[in-house]
Structure 1
Amino acid sequence: MGFAHIYPKTMEEEKDVYTEDGTVDIHKNPANKKKTGNWKACRFILGNECCERLAYYGMGTNLVNYLESRLNQGNATAANNVTNWSGTCYITPLIGAFLADAYLGRYWTIATFVFIYVSGMTLLTLSASVPGLKPGNCNGDTCHPNSGQTAVFFVALYMIALGTGGIKPCVSSFGADQFDENDEAEKLKKSSFFNWFYFSINVGALVAATVLVWIQMNVGWGWGFGVPTVAMVIAVVFFFLGSRYYRLQRPGGSPLTRIFQVIVAAFRKVSVTVPEDKSLLFETADDESNITGSRKLEHTDNLKFFDKAAVESHSDSIKDVEVNPWRLCSVTQVEELKSIITLLPVWASGIVFATVYSQMNTMFVLQGNTMDQHMGKNFEIPSASLSLFDTVSVLFWTPVYDQFIVPFARKFTRQERGFTQLQRMGIGLVISIFAMVTAGVLEVVRLDYVKTHNAYDDKKIPMSIFWQIPQYLLIGCAEVFTFIGQLEFFYDQAPDAMRSLCSALSLTTVALGNYLSTVLVTVVMKLTKKNGKPGWIPDNLNRGHLDYFFYLLAVLSFLNFLVYLWISKRYKYKKAIGRAH
């Protein structure tokens, strides 16, 4: 009797002490709830992210000016080099994510790639400051570098792109890993983490867009790249200081291999009938999934064709013989593939939003260039600097959402997060429509002044650039709903052992949004320049119709929102069961 009384108590105590999501500590022991994870671990992750983003934006925000003035590149060449590099920064996360999920785990992937990142930043600083490496033959602000100096610069730049590829897809997921999904109290904190994660990104971006850009333009590029390099070193120190507090998810093997196994097994059994009783489908017998670091997933009725991969045929003897995963897959493995496929429509709906977001660096700047930029009598604010108001908006709305909107919404929706992740993203999509309408209305007013005063050939009109502030504030507010909701959604709905890969997938919407913007501008100009007309976006915007382009984006955003509503109403949130091992 004494033994029967003690044993359950011991099991209960163990449940209270250790996490149930399969995480381990840095020494590969089961993660102790009291000693690891939670906010005590996240403070190091947030500090790391703030410094890393400061370094990234401090180096990238003003990059086009460096290419023009120091590498003697023209506007088009410099702009293309920046967009090519930026696009690469959003493609390399697919590499880092695969390595993290398949082999290294998120901690060791970040730990490896930060050294590539720091090496790239160091080389970039040297290329801008060390005689022989920095561009020579300078005449005022224009230099004439040799091929070796240009090569060193671009090697450094793409080392940074590779380095960020191991950090971008892992760091947000790694932070979320610090909260046990099987613990209700910790699960609630996870949603709050994503808000503060995005907040820390924008703190870094704010410092970069103000202090570091000023240093680059007024002190010198050596210091301008050197300070971000120091910030990146501090980011690395922050990250490793928290090592003993981290919870680590163990890698589950190649996610792409598991996906192809399901596809191959399903097509091999194309003529097999799936039983009505889904409990007859193959699944491991114990509570744990056969995929390391993953919980079991409940069977779903969508995409039934792939259920064939889990149907046991006469040739799939599982008695005394190891299962051949290219012939027979578990229900959890099948549901992994289904999860990825069902995420794709939601992922695609984020591309138009990313296109709207990209206007801050292009059309908003061009619009601002035509307006009065004076701030007082002697100071002019660069039109690109108005993106500060987007950052300020994010920094304002993030804590407001976390501390006020969520508790208020919870009273009406009965949702623990205030809104579901899909509802949150949808609200952001609606706000982005208003941002484009606001930008369009401002352009109508601006063009009306041009027409009334016959100011078609004036470079600037006496209309304050600060009338652009509302459209920047609306974009920032939309970010808090859509981008943060997207971060949380892709982490939460991704299969446990594919979270880095899904985070990388969500990042690709930014790259595709930029590409879509380029396509739209190209198509619009080709269609509207016929018969000798200047087109909607000519070099002289006073003779164009930039307002039509903003309204086009508003219409596309509205149509995208309608499609999103259809997608979200049919989406079923995943259900995980059991424990990870």
Structure 2
Amino acid sequence: MAVREEKGPANGNEDYTQDGTVDLKGRPVLRTETGKWKACSFIVGYEVFERMAFYGIQSNLVIYLTRKLHEGTVKSSNDVSNWVGSVWMMPLAGAYIADAYLGRYKTFIIASCIYVVGMCLLTLAVSVPALRPPQCDEGENCPEASSLQYGVFFLALYIIAVGTGGTKPNISTMGADQFDEFEPKERRYKLSFFNWWFFSIFFGTLFANTFLVFIQERVGWTIGYGLPTLGLAVSVLVFLGGTPFYRHKLPSGSPITRMLQVYVAAVKKWKLRVPDDPKELHELSIEQYASSGRNRIDRSSSLSFLDKASIKNGQTSSWRLCTVTQVEETKQMTKLIPVLLTTIIPSTLIVQASTLFVKQGTTLDRRMGPHFHIPPACLNAFVTIAMLITVVLYDRVFVPVIRRYTKNPRGITMLQRLGIGLVLHCIIMVIACFIERKRLRVARENHLLHAKDTIPLTIFILLPQYALGGVADNFVEVAKMELFYDQAPDGMKSLATSYFTTTIGIGSFLSSFLLSTVADITKRNGHAGWILDNLNISRLDYYYAFMAVLSFLNLLCFLVVAKFFVYNVDVTQTKPGFEMNSASSQPQNTTGLKEGETNMCDRKCNGRHNVDMRTTTNGVWMKREQNAIERTRRQLERGEEMTMAMETDRRTRKIVTIRS
């Protein structure tokens, strides 16, 4: 199948980006004047300030709910979990609006304004005396907050959740859009983008978990929440400063609707047989896709039931007949769902650091010297520090060393990285269990069973579970973000990013459900219960052991999913004159083979000729000698058909067939 030359200013002109990005007015953008790290510096700068604002609220929220709104252990933990779950679930709506209607930039700006309004209202709620209950020492019978006080405070929190729903799925995706995957140098930069993206996140988080938490507990909640609000306003201004340099991708319709159309059409035609010839299936021409800034994807053998959606049967409704490309996009998103499900439990464990781990810290000796007491939520800083160190070591030391042996540009595959993180999460909960057993033993030995008693055990005994959590995040969270973005088609990148946030959201709701259920069940039949307001007579060690078992079972499920997962081929190096021909950022795996096995993928040569390339590598194209390229071009000019045997090493053999 020959690929015709596409018309437009970017065609064949290396001055313009080749991935369909445009400026705010929809015009092609110059490569030298836009994108790359010049644009990403504003986006990364935004993320530092925004994460400082968000975690300035989340990190110490359970303490505010306990001390100021007088909530108990289970209720305060669940309120935090439910809010965090909402924060991370709302990106589904934000991604839908961005992909279907407004685009990422406009959706982000509107959502940022909502976000700032929520932060201002929250600062007001903690500042005005009438909007909070009277002061009461923890452990006493304190009056509950009024409906008005609860209403204003949680209204502010959930306005923030709505705002983050439009910012989270679009800002990271927009950052990745600044690198043109058709240009080899920019593509290499993009491989490190998500590592440094998370570096910026945790840099802002570190400031929140140290300075802001200290301000909240030592100076006051008004300033403690006012500073994050100011930080968020600054972050929006930083983002706006980069507007002239951003590259934008046009909305391509609702990805959720397109997926549902495929499912519905396939089910309604379940009795029909898929023809052997792919040409008999419904598909648009390359020119039609090119006119809308999209690329066409050939049919693959995976999830073949969905191919029924493309069978022509005389009906033209979009809910009865779908293109092959639409079906393939749906397949790519569908195959990510099992991976998504296996990352929910780790997200459940992450919530513990903001709830139960912090509550444990309130019972321990928090002295650092004769005059300074460390706020319990400050231990979250060690998650951040461990994450920062691990990101740098992983990117600068681990990957270059491992890459020599695996020949994989990432060092190890994304699923291997994710699997290592899941193992670490199992270890974290085992460590947390043993540390809690020691805390309870010291409390009993010293007869310190009252809720206000301080156990003579340093708060830094919790450090291992916090620090190892940061290491695990480098593997799980970064791999999750990279996998979902990398394996999604271009028109569904924002939805893929919302997959990432969805796992955290569902995990947070699951944490709330498990905590309430375990607390309720363990109180039955006259038992004291595992989780009480007084942690010194609770059995959090049993709860942590339960979570460790749950994590191990989840790890087993992940191994099964990983065994059958099929990657889209990842091309990380191209030579001049060779471009991609797929709807995603890399050639598509149309054989159903796993990474590293023989694969066929379609590419364009100089925008005019189709190249079928057979590879047995991990997805890295071998370097071609310049004279081979020139010889190929000369023969293409003569319109000859040729087969060129490329260089062979002990790992790779490629045969390139080029037809004019």
Contact kept, 8 Å, 2:132 with 2:145, in 1: the verdict is yes
**Which residue, 23, 43, 46 being the options, matches 1:45?**
43
Matches of 1:529 and 1:139, distance apart in 2: 31
Matches of 1:143 and 1:471, distance apart in 2: 35
Deviating more after overlay: 230-239 vs 552-561: 552-561
Tell me how far 1:571 sits from its aligned partner. Answer: 0.9
Once the two structures are superposed, the pairs formed by residues 185-200 of structure 1 within 5 Å of their partners are 185-200=185-200
Once the two structures are superposed, the pairs formed by residues 484-503 of structure 1 within 5 Å of their partners are 484-503=478-497
Tell me how far 1:493 sits from its aligned partner. Answer: 1.4
Q: Report the RMSD for the aligned CA atoms in angstroms.
A: 3.1
Tell me how far 1:525 sits from its aligned partner. Answer: 3.9
Is 2:356 the counterpart of 1:363? Answer: yes
Tell me how far 1:393 sits from its aligned partner. Answer: 0.7
Tell me how far 1:44 sits from its aligned partner. Answer: 0.3
Tell me how far 1:16 sits from its aligned partner. Answer: 1.8
Specify whether residues 264 and 144 from structure 1 end up closer, same or farther in structure 2 by C-alpha distance, changes over 3 A only: closer
Matches of 1:288 and 1:488, distance apart in 2: 30
Matches of 2:549 and 2:132, distance apart in 1: 49
| Structure 2 equivalent of residue 223 of structure 1 | 223
Matches of 1:76 and 1:545, distance apart in 2: 13
| Structure 2 equivalent of residue 566 of structure 1 | 560
Specify whether residues 239 and 289 from structure 1 end up closer, same or farther in structure 2 by C-alpha distance, changes over 3 A only: same
| Structure 1 equivalent of residue 167 of structure 2 | 167
Is 2:104 the counterpart of 1:106? Answer: yes
| Structure 2 equivalent of residue 307 of structure 1 | 307
Deviating more after overlay: 483-492 vs 278-287: 278-287
Matches of 1:267 and 1:291, distance apart in 2: 31
Specify whether residues 214 and 461 from structure 1 end up closer, same or farther in structure 2 by C-alpha distance, changes over 3 A only: closer
Once the two structures are superposed, the pairs formed by residues 217-366 of structure 1 within 5 Å of their partners are 217-286=217-286, 289=289, 292-313=292-313, 315=314, 324-366=317-359
| Structure 2 equivalent of residue 86 of structure 1 | 84
| Structure 2 equivalent of residue 54 of structure 1 | 52
Specify whether residues 157 and 278 from structure 1 end up closer, same or farther in structure 2 by C-alpha distance, changes over 3 A only: same
**Which residue, 449, 458, 462 being the options, matches 1:457?**
449
Matches of 1:144 and 1:540, distance apart in 2: 18
Deviating more after overlay: 241-250 vs 531-540: 531-540
For residue 353 of structure 2, give the secondary structure of its aligned residue in structure 1: helix
| Structure 1 equivalent of residue 389 of structure 2 | 396
| Structure 1 equivalent of residue 115 of structure 2 | 117
| Structure 2 equivalent of residue 135 of structure 1 | 131
Contact kept, 8 Å, 2:347 with 2:503, in 1: the verdict is yes
Specify whether residues 201 and 267 from structure 1 end up closer, same or farther in structure 2 by C-alpha distance, changes over 3 A only: same
Contact kept, 8 Å, 2:53 with 2:208, in 1: the verdict is yes
The one-letter code matched in structure 2 to 1:207 is F
* Unmatched runs of 5 consecutive residues or more in structure 2: 571-579, 585-660
Contact kept, 8 Å, 1:70 with 1:135, in 2: the verdict is no
Is 2:484 the counterpart of 1:481? Answer: no
| Structure 2 equivalent of residue 437 of structure 1 | 430
For residues 142-164 of structure 1, the C-alpha deviation after alignment (integer angstroms, 9 at most, x for no partner) is: 99987666654444333222111
Contact kept, 8 Å, 2:213 with 2:378, in 1: the verdict is no
Deviating more after overlay: 75-84 vs 434-443: 75-84
Matches of 1:137 and 1:286, distance apart in 2: 65
Is 2:514 the counterpart of 1:520? Answer: yes
Identity of aligned pairs, percent?
A: 44
Matches of 1:257 and 1:549, distance apart in 2: 40
Specify whether residues 361 and 120 from structure 1 end up closer, same or farther in structure 2 by C-alpha distance, changes over 3 A only: closer
For residue 297 of structure 1, give the secondary structure of its aligned residue in structure 2: coil
Contact kept, 8 Å, 2:93 with 2:166, in 1: the verdict is yes
The one-letter code matched in structure 2 to 1:110 is F
Matches of 2:513 and 2:147, distance apart in 1: 32
The one-letter code matched in structure 1 to 2:449 is D
Tell me how far 1:273 sits from its aligned partner. Answer: 1.1
Specify whether residues 552 and 143 from structure 1 end up closer, same or farther in structure 2 by C-alpha distance, changes over 3 A only: closer
Tell me how far 1:531 sits from its aligned partner. Answer: 5.1
Deviating more after overlay: 50-59 vs 81-90: 81-90
| Structure 2 equivalent of residue 418 of structure 1 | 411
Matches of 1:104 and 1:307, distance apart in 2: 30
Specify whether residues 178 and 311 from structure 1 end up closer, same or farther in structure 2 by C-alpha distance, changes over 3 A only: same
For residue 250 of structure 1, give the secondary structure of its aligned residue in structure 2: coil
Matches of 2:546 and 2:330, distance apart in 1: 36
The one-letter code matched in structure 2 to 1:462 is P
Contact kept, 8 Å, 1:288 with 1:578, in 2: the verdict is no
Specify whether residues 73 and 445 from structure 1 end up closer, same or farther in structure 2 by C-alpha distance, changes over 3 A only: closer
Contact kept, 8 Å, 1:292 with 1:580, in 2: the verdict is no
Structure with greater helix percent: 1
Is 2:504 the counterpart of 1:507? Answer: no
Deviating more after overlay: 111-120 vs 155-164: 155-164
Matches of 1:147 and 1:294, distance apart in 2: 51
Matches of 1:454 and 1:148, distance apart in 2: 42
Specify whether residues 346 and 269 from structure 1 end up closer, same or farther in structure 2 by C-alpha distance, changes over 3 A only: same
Tell me how far 1:186 sits from its aligned partner. Answer: 1.8
For residues 512-547 of structure 1, the C-alpha deviation after alignment (integer angstroms, 9 at most, x for no partner) is: 222323333344445544554434444555555433
Matches of 1:158 and 1:481, distance apart in 2: 30
For residues 340-393 of structure 1, the C-alpha deviation after alignment (integer angstroms, 9 at most, x for no partner) is: 221111000001111221221233234434433222234332333211111111
The one-letter code matched in structure 2 to 1:111 is I
Matches of 2:204 and 2:62, distance apart in 1: 20
For residues 303-329 of structure 1, the C-alpha deviation after alignment (integer angstroms, 9 at most, x for no partner) is: 21211111223x26xxxxxx5433322
Contact kept, 8 Å, 2:107 with 2:167, in 1: the verdict is yes
Contact kept, 8 Å, 1:268 with 1:327, in 2: the verdict is yes
| Structure 2 equivalent of residue 23 of structure 1 | 21
Contact kept, 8 Å, 2:68 with 2:135, in 1: the verdict is no
* Unmatched runs of 5 consecutive residues or more in structure 1: 1-6, 317-322
Contact kept, 8 Å, 1:393 with 1:477, in 2: the verdict is yes
Tell me how far 1:494 sits from its aligned partner. Answer: 1.8
Matches of 1:46 and 1:340, distance apart in 2: 27
Specify whether residues 501 and 441 from structure 1 end up closer, same or farther in structure 2 by C-alpha distance, changes over 3 A only: same
Tell me how far 1:454 sits from its aligned partner. Answer: 6.4
Matches of 1:65 and 1:450, distance apart in 2: 22
Matches of 2:361 and 2:216, distance apart in 1: 22
Matches of 1:155 and 1:146, distance apart in 2: 14
Contact kept, 8 Å, 1:288 with 1:580, in 2: the verdict is no
Tell me how far 1:330 sits from its aligned partner. Answer: 1.3
| Structure 1 equivalent of residue 177 of structure 2 | 177
Matches of 2:483 and 2:291, distance apart in 1: 22
Specify whether residues 517 and 35 from structure 1 end up closer, same or farther in structure 2 by C-alpha distance, changes over 3 A only: same
Matches of 1:444 and 1:75, distance apart in 2: 19
Contact kept, 8 Å, 1:456 with 1:543, in 2: the verdict is no
For residues 196-243 of structure 1, the C-alpha deviation after alignment (integer angstroms, 9 at most, x for no partner) is: 111111111111122222223333333222222221111111111111
For residue 462 of structure 1, give the secondary structure of its aligned residue in structure 2: strand
Tell me how far 1:178 sits from its aligned partner. Answer: 0.9
For residue 463 of structure 1, give the secondary structure of its aligned residue in structure 2: strand
Matches of 1:199 and 1:567, distance apart in 2: 29
Matches of 1:382 and 1:46, distance apart in 2: 28
Tell me how far 1:268 sits from its aligned partner. Answer: 3.5
Matches of 2:284 and 2:11, distance apart in 1: 27
For residues 465-485 of structure 1, the C-alpha deviation after alignment (integer angstroms, 9 at most, x for no partner) is: 212211111110000111011
Tell me how far 1:334 sits from its aligned partner. Answer: 0.5
Specify whether residues 291 and 573 from structure 1 end up closer, same or farther in structure 2 by C-alpha distance, changes over 3 A only: farther
Matches of 2:144 and 2:564, distance apart in 1: 58
The one-letter code matched in structure 1 to 2:419 is G
For residue 412 of structure 2, give the secondary structure of its aligned residue in structure 1: coil
Contact kept, 8 Å, 2:131 with 2:148, in 1: the verdict is no
Contact kept, 8 Å, 1:288 with 1:295, in 2: the verdict is no
